[in-house]
């Protein structure tokens, strides 16, 4: 069994005009330690898919199996435990403005019951890893966008997740800063063997970081394969449109 197994996933949102099928029969699997990209036009269902993977959104049908556990079969308590192994980073960094960098990274650890000293030790370790140890006492407003995203990444890493979900994590950043965040993600993937799912509009992000990629169109997978396969020989119109945009 692969580290992540998504099986026949379906998500239907109720809407005024009846039902809106955001995902229909989506299946794929990701081996441990791989970086899996998801591309697709706006509204294709990418964010819905990752939100279903950590059960922020409850799938209408299908299964999400992470590290051998079927998330839908778990009790609230078990689910909370599994969720601690799943980290998420977004386009908006959502840092607490009233707290300094160190406290931002410590905060979720303390909420999770980690002792203050241990939380600080771990926070410093991951701030070191993202190259921001010397900004530990700075406040978010004093940092650039790229630095804020690094803090958000350190905060997620400090929880020591096995799976990292990135939804448009570099979309708010300029090309050079994007490049540095991407090399950081690759480095993290190598060093900590974290499996990653990366959603992006930027094809370059996929080419530079991902091993495999899935093309999502109207809530279905149009095409899926290694990045080289898909980028060198896209078979579907959906993939060609994205790649040659
Ligand atoms: N909370 C929600 N309630 C109702 N419908 C939703 C909700 N979230 C998403 N949708 C619908 O599901 C579909 C897929 O949306 P989703 O946000 O997953 O797309 P996306 O691929 O992430 O788009 P983008 O690239 O613009 O972020 C859209 O039709 C959207 O309107
Ligand atoms: Mg989205």
Phi, psi angles (nearest 5°) of residue 121: -60, -45
Assess whether 112 and 79 both reside in one domain.
Answer: no
Q: What is the DSSP string of 62-80?
A: EEEEETTEEGGGS-HHHHH
Assess whether 180 and 218 both reside in one domain.
Answer: yes
CA of 18 to the centre of ligand 1 (A): 16
What mean pLDDT comes out for the span 130-148?
95
Q: Determine the pLDDT at residue 101.
A: 98
Assess whether 81 and 48 both reside in one domain.
Answer: yes
Q: Determine the pLDDT at residue 228.
A: 97
Assess whether 156 and 172 both reside in one domain.
Answer: no
- Residue of the CA atom closest to atom 5 of ligand 1: 13
- Percent of the chain's residues with pLDDT above 70: 100
* Residue 193 falls inside a structural domain: yes
What mean pLDDT comes out for the span 2-12?
98
Q: What would the pLDDT profile of 23-64 be if each residue is shown by its tens digit?
A: 999 999 999 999 999 999 999 999 999 999 999 999 999 999
Domain boundary among 130, 160, 190: 160
* Residue 78 falls inside a structural domain: yes
* Residue 238 falls inside a structural domain: yes
For 115, residues 6+ apart whose C-beta sits below 8 A from its C-beta are: none
Assess whether 68 and 177 both reside in one domain.
Answer: yes
- Residue of the CA atom closest to atom 6 of ligand 1: 13
Mutate to test the pocket of ligand 1, among 40, 47, 60, 200 (most ligand atoms within 8 A of CB): 47
Residues having CB closer than 6 A to ligand 1 are 13, 20, 22, 40, 42-48
Assess whether 61 and 102 both reside in one domain.
Answer: no
Assess whether 117 and 223 both reside in one domain.
Answer: no
What mean pLDDT comes out for the span 171-186?
88
Domain boundary among 160, 192, 215: 160
Assess whether 36 and 80 both reside in one domain.
Answer: yes
- Residue of the CA atom closest to atom 17 of ligand 1: 47
Assess whether 154 and 167 both reside in one domain.
Answer: no
Q: Which ligand is nearest to the CA of 49?
A: 1
Predicted confidence (pLDDT) at residue 245 exceeds the cutoff of 90: no
Domain boundary among 104, 138, 160: 160
> Based on the structure, what is the number of domains in the chain?
2
Predicted confidence (pLDDT) at residue 213 exceeds the cutoff of 80: yes
Q: Which of 57, 104, 65 is nearest to 82 (CA)?
A: 65
**Cβ atoms within 10 Å, residue 219:** 23
Pick the atom of ligand 1 nearest to 48's CA: 18
Q: What would the pLDDT profile of 189-212 be if each residue is shown by its tens digit?
A: 999 899 999 999 889 999 999 999
**Cα 169 → chain centroid:** 8
CA of 47 to the centre of ligand 1 (A): 7
Question: The domain that contains 234 carries what CATH number?
Answer: 3.40.50.300
Cα–Cα distance for residue pair 171/82, rounded to 1 Å: 28
Assess whether 148 and 180 both reside in one domain.
Answer: no
Q: Determine the pLDDT at residue 141.
A: 96
What mean pLDDT comes out for the span 123-144?
95
**Cβ atoms within 10 Å, residue 234:** 19
* Residue 90 falls inside a structural domain: no
Assess whether 99 and 61 both reside in one domain.
Answer: no
Pick the atom of ligand 1 nearest to 168's CA: 27
For 56, the domain range is: 4-85+163-243
CA of 47 to the centre of ligand 2 (A): 4
**Cβ atoms within 10 Å, residue 61:** 14
* Residue 140 falls inside a structural domain: yes
Q: Determine the pLDDT at residue 240.
A: 96
The one-character DSSP state at 222 is E
Predicted confidence (pLDDT) at residue 171 exceeds the cutoff of 90: no
- Residue of the CA atom closest to atom 4 of ligand 1: 13
Predicted confidence (pLDDT) at residue 151 exceeds the cutoff of 90: yes
Assess whether 74 and 181 both reside in one domain.
Answer: yes
């Amino acid at each position: 069994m692969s580290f992540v197994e998504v099986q026949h996933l379906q998500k239907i949102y109720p809407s005024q005009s009846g039902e809106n099928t955001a995902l229909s029969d989506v299946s794929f699997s990701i081996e441990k330690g791989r970086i899996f990209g998801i591309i697709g036009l706006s509204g294709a269902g990418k964010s819905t898919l990752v939100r279903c993977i950590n059960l922020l959104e409850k799938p209408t049908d299908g299964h999400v199996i992470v590290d051998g556990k079927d998330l839908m079969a778990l009790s609230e308590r078990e689910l909370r435990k599994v969720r601690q192994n799943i980290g998420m980073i977004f386009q908006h960094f959502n840092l607490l403005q009233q707290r300094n960098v160190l406290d931002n990274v410590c905060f979720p650890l303390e909420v999770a019951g980690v002792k203050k000293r241990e939380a600080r030790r771990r926070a410093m370790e991951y701030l070191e890893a993202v190259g921001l140890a010397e900004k530990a006492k700075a406040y978010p407003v004093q940092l650039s966008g790229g630095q804020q995203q690094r803090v958000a990444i350190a905060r997620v890493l400090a929880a020591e997740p096995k799976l990292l979900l990135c939804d448009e994590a570099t979309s708010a950043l300029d090309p050079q800063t994007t490049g540095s965040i991407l090399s950081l993600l690759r480095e993290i993937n190598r060093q900590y063997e974290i499996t990653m799912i990366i959603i992006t509009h930027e094809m370059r992000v996929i080419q530079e970081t991902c091993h495999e990629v899935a093309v999502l169109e109207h809530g279905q997978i149009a095409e899926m394969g290694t990045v080289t396969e898909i980028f060198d020989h896209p078979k579907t119109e959906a993939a060609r449109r994205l790649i040659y945009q």
